[in-house]
């Protein structure tokens, strides 16, 4: 049974609290929802597969104390019945149009236009109906990357319902490896891929991080998309860089604007530069490109080596000129 820890705050405190939770080792892999429920009131919801452990409850209390400076009121923790979960997910579930993508439920199939890349997603146990700001930002970024460069293969890290993997496979017509730490998510992602006529191009696997052999066999990847949280994204930076192709692109989301500097710094340290950003509904999506290896290597060489290389180049030009005479 799914449990939810819920706390209602003003926007500034809610964002700070969500950030603190994403950085806490005991909670960093738990899905977090941050949304405005009324004018000036925001709700932080942390989801658990079962009743939270004592260590997780302590981590929630610690996050509240560290960000708000008080222990009361704290999170309200209660089981989330399946009927309530579906009702919550379906609330306000209207079709979403981003670029050529139309994300819709079964009941809105009649709204699909001839040139749409229609993605049918129903609310269920896996995160991702396309309505979250981070998902919308990723769809914008995928559309931009598709116009800017050629992509031959892709990885959707933390795939959830598979919506981003489907968007990549359908729009770029390339193979996509879709991974998630939750076996329920990978099962749903595979079913959604089949439903959206992308099953032949999407392989869904259950994995924590990028250490499984399948990542080495399918990589390096021209495009890596990760819509998770700031803490795990920073931790995964070296692994993402290791599996990225020489001129590859990385799309990162699940970020609050104030987390930008920390994430950019982590990926800049891996030789990637931030080239675009998108903000939707208060959530930030960043696009990185890998710096050309030769240029990065040249920057790291001492001045003597650069001077010696320049001398060798001039000597070759002189020999060529002498031969021409």
- Return the percentage of the chain with pLDDT > 90, whole number: 46
Task: Give the number of domains in the chain.
Answer: 2
pLDDT of residue 4: 86
**Domain contains 104:** no
Q: CB within 8 A of 266, min separation 6: which ones?
A: 233, 234, 237
Q: Is residue 303 part of a domain?
A: no
Residues 54 and 171 in one domain: no
Same domain, 74 and 176: no
Report the pLDDT value the prediction gives residue 221, as an integer from 0 to 100.
Answer: 98
pLDDT at 132: 76
Pair 74, 134 in one domain: no
Domain with 16, as residue range(s), is 2-80
CATH number of the domain residue 279 falls in: 3.40.50.150
**Are 272 and 147 contained in the same domain?**
yes
| 229-280 pLDDT tens trace | 888 899 899 999 999 999 999 999 988 888 899 999 999 999 999 999 999 8
pLDDT at 139 over 70: yes
Give 84's Cβ-side CA count (13 Å radius): 8
Q: Which residue among 80, 110, 142 closes a domain?
A: 80
Answer yes or no: do 71 and 146 share one domain: no
287 and 144 inside one domain: yes
Segment 289-317 shows an average pLDDT of 58
Query: What is the per-residue pLDDT across 143-197, written as a single tens digit (0 to 9) for each?
Result: 999 999 899 999 999 998 899 999 999 999 999 999 998 888 899 999 999 999 9
Residue 58 is part of a domain; what is its CATH number?
Answer: 3.30.70.1710
pLDDT for residue 95: 81
Assess if residue 89 is contained within a domain.
no
> What was the pLDDT predicted at 90?
44
Question: SS3 for 151?
Answer: coil
Q: What is the mean pLDDT of the chain?
A: 83
Same domain, residue pair 175 and 258: yes
Q: Are 144 and 213 in contact (CB under 8 A)?
A: no
Q: Evaluate whether 250 touches 291 at the Cβ level (below 8 Å).
A: no
CA distances from 88 to 45, 80, 251 (A): 12, 10, 28
Question: How many residues are there in the chain?
Answer: 325
Mean pLDDT of 286-303: 62
Q: What does the DSSP 8-state code read for residue 26?
A: T
The residue among 176 and 5 whose pLDDT is bigger is 176
In a domain, 88, yes or no: no
Q: What's the half-sphere exposure (Cβ side, CA atoms, 13 Å) at 145?
A: 33
Q: Are residues 252 and 145 part of one domain?
A: yes
Among the listed residues 115, 161, 155, the one whose alpha carbon sits nearest the alpha carbon of residue 135: 161
User: Quick one: the chain helix, strand, coil %, rounded to 5?
Assistant: 45, 25, 30
For Cα atoms 4, 8, 9, give the angle at the middle one, nearest 5 degrees.
Answer: 140
């Amino acid at each position: 049974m799914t449990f939810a820890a819920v706390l209602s705050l003003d926007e500034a405190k809610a964002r700070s609290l969500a950030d603190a939770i994403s950085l806490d080792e005991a909670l960093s892999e738990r899905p977090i929802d941050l949304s405005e429920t009324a004018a000036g009131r925001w709700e932080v919801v942390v989801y658990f597969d079962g009743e939270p452990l004592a260590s997780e409850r302590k981590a929630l209390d610690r996050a509240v104390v560290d960000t708000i400076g008080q222990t009361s009121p704290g999170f309200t923790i209660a089981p989330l019945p399946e009927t309530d979960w579906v009702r919550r997910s379906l609330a306000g579930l209207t079709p979403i149009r981003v670029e050529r993508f139309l994300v819709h439920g079964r009941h809105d199939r009649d709204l699909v236009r001839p040139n749409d890349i229609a993605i049918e997603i129903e609310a269920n146990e896996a995160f991702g109906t396309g309505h979250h700001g981070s998902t919308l930002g990723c769809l914008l970024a995928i559309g931009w990357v598709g116009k800017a460069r050629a992509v031959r293969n892709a990885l959707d890290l933390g795939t959830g319902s598979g919506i981003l993997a489907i968007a990549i496979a359908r729009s770029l017509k390339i193979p996509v490896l879709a991974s998630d730490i939750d076996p329920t998510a990978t099962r749903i992602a595979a079913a959604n891929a089949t439903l959206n006529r992308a099953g032949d191009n999407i392989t869904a696997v259950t994995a924590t991080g990028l250490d499984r052999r399948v990542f080495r066999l399918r990589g390096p990847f021209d495009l890596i998309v990760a819509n998770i949280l700031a803490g795990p994204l920073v931790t995964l930076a070296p692994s993402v860089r290791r599996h990225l192709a020489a001129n590859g692109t990385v799309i990162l989301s699940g970020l609050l604007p104030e987390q930008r500097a920390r994430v950019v710094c982590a990926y800049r340290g891996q030789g990637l530069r931030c080239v675009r950003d998108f903000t939707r509904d208060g959530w930030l999506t960043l696009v990185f490109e890998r710096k050309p290896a030769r240029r990065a290597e040249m920057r790291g060489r001492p001045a003597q080596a650069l001077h010696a290389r320049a001398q060798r180049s001039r000597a070759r030009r002189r020999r060529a000129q002498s031969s021409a005479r």
